[in-house]
Structure 1
């Protein structure tokens, strides 16, 4: 399938848009010359209100809700926005676990639920709509946000790395399954980026010495989306991806 630019999208949903990368991408995409409708989705109503004031559409959603509730939300969204043709899945949480000590398994389960199972569930709910667009000759986009840690894991965030590796594997196989359609499966692969993700465990100050500034990262990512790159990586993640691909694993499919 030839590369298709996000500039072709008429209506873009960003799930996890109330902070960090998701918020930055939602705002940047809304400013593209193609002027797509952008729907910012997330849990925090106060953050959504702030995005409404920046002329974005908004949707309150909890990605950990039961499948029936998610299905109802997606169906209602498609009725309201029949031109919806792109979804970026940015929701994510991260914990540190040391298996030499006591591990909070509830946190392990929550990470897998938010970072992998919820993303796969939401993708499955959008695919019928996107396949319908494909049958009409219209392109669409499914764009999970994984992580460079899905390629080269960190022992400090052992389960987060595993959840992102699982999502990378799923994304690669999904792209293969949909290759004869107009559904474009792209993958955003961030390095360590300026984010609130690290606040909960108090690592923000230490990591801020190493992370890529959010503004710089956002520009590089939007550039990749506009080029229609299948893998949109930057910084350290781009270096790791290049080494990964040179290992020949990209030839499996």
Structure 2
């Protein structure tokens, strides 16, 4: 993926990593369209950041995904990058059946949302001379945080889906890049002030540097996420899981 000169659609670009990445990519010389559920938030962001475009979208609504994807392709026909950023992360207590509603919402948002978006964009992007689909998994796809079991599972699913997607699109103009964040200081799990999480601006600095230095990258792995990502291959899985299990108490 070239670092500039793209037209980029980012569902889930209204806060945290999504908004941060949207602003960095816009500053790097890209046209950026963000999407989210709250029209007032979209209006606020576009007002405060001239040049950022926006469109309302609830990625849990399959009909809306189809409708809005078509609108993006019509209004911004040069769109050549899709970043499937929207996601949720919530604590679940699996000792009670009450966790099921949270689990189902997490699967719909974190797995079906990105897959529906990719389905709506894959043929369109394959018609562009140079295109990218960027999926967003997590270091927790490699070693789970036990208090968020369904979140971990959805990110493992996204990792696996990205691998298959890349193979199937290998003969097209579409690259597939998997963004693999560690814990970052955002509101995703109320960790915006957590000293153990990576500062957002530091994460964005390193991510943008990696994107620029590695235009053909398959995965974007900042140094902090390698503690999780490489745990199995380095023989540290059980130790890392024990650390994350301790964080659950």
Q: Tell me which stretches of 4 or more aligned residues in structure 1 moved more than 3 Å.
A: 242-247
Query: 1:187 is paired with a residue of what secondary structure?
Result: strand
Contact 1:148/1:191 (<8 A) preserved:
yes
TM-score calculated relative to the size of structure 1: 0.86
For residues 70-91 of structure 1, give each alpha carbon's deviation from its aligned partner in whole angstroms, at most 9, with x where no partner exists.
2111111101100000011111
Task: Pick 1 or 2: higher relative contact order, CA cutoff 8 A, min separation 6.
Answer: 1
Task: Confirm whether residue 119 of structure 1 aligns to residue 114 of structure 2.
Answer: yes
Residue 244 of structure 1 and its aligned partner are, at CA, apart by 4.8
For residues 218-245 of structure 1, give each alpha carbon's deviation from its aligned partner in whole angstroms, at most 9, with x where no partner exists.
1111122222221112243123324456
Contact 1:193/1:217 (<8 A) preserved:
yes
Task: Name stretches of at least 5 consecutive residues in structure 2 with no aligned partner.
Answer: 236-249
Query: 2:77 is paired with a residue of what secondary structure?
Result: coil
Report what 2:228 is aligned to. 240
Task: Confirm whether residue 144 of structure 1 aligns to residue 135 of structure 2.
Answer: yes
Query: 1:197 is paired with a residue of what secondary structure?
Result: coil
Q: For 1:50-69, list aligned pairs within 5 A.
A: 50-53=44-47, 54-55=49-50, 56-65=52-61, 67-69=62-64
Distance 1:84 1:244 in 2: 37
Residue 15 of structure 1 and its aligned partner are, at CA, apart by 1.1
Task: Confirm whether residue 165 of structure 1 aligns to residue 156 of structure 2.
Answer: yes
Query: 2:98 is paired with a residue of what secondary structure?
Result: coil
Alpha-carbon RMSD across the aligned residues, in angstroms, is 1.7
Task: Confirm whether residue 22 of structure 1 aligns to residue 21 of structure 2.
Answer: no
Report what 2:207 is aligned to. 221
Residue 102 of structure 1 and its aligned partner are, at CA, apart by 4.1
Contact 2:185/2:200 (<8 A) preserved:
yes
For residues 165-208 of structure 1, give each alpha carbon's deviation from its aligned partner in whole angstroms, at most 9, with x where no partner exists.
01110001100111111100000000000111113xxxx37x70
Contact 1:191/1:235 (<8 A) preserved:
no
For residues 149-176 of structure 1, give each alpha carbon's deviation from its aligned partner in whole angstroms, at most 9, with x where no partner exists.
0111111111100010011100011001
Query: 2:188 is paired with a residue of what secondary structure?
Result: helix
Report what 2:246 is aligned to. none
Query: 2:88 is paired with a residue of what secondary structure?
Result: coil
Residue 246 of structure 1 and its aligned partner are, at CA, apart by 6.3
Report what 2:3 is aligned to. 6
Contact 1:17/1:23 (<8 A) preserved:
yes
Report what 1:250 is aligned to. none
2:40 pairs with 27, 42, 46, which one? 46
Contact 2:93/2:99 (<8 A) preserved:
no
For residues 74-119 of structure 1, give each alpha carbon's deviation from its aligned partner in whole angstroms, at most 9, with x where no partner exists.
1111011000000111111111112223433111100000001111
Aligned length in residues = 231
1:231 pairs with 215, 219, 222, which one? 219
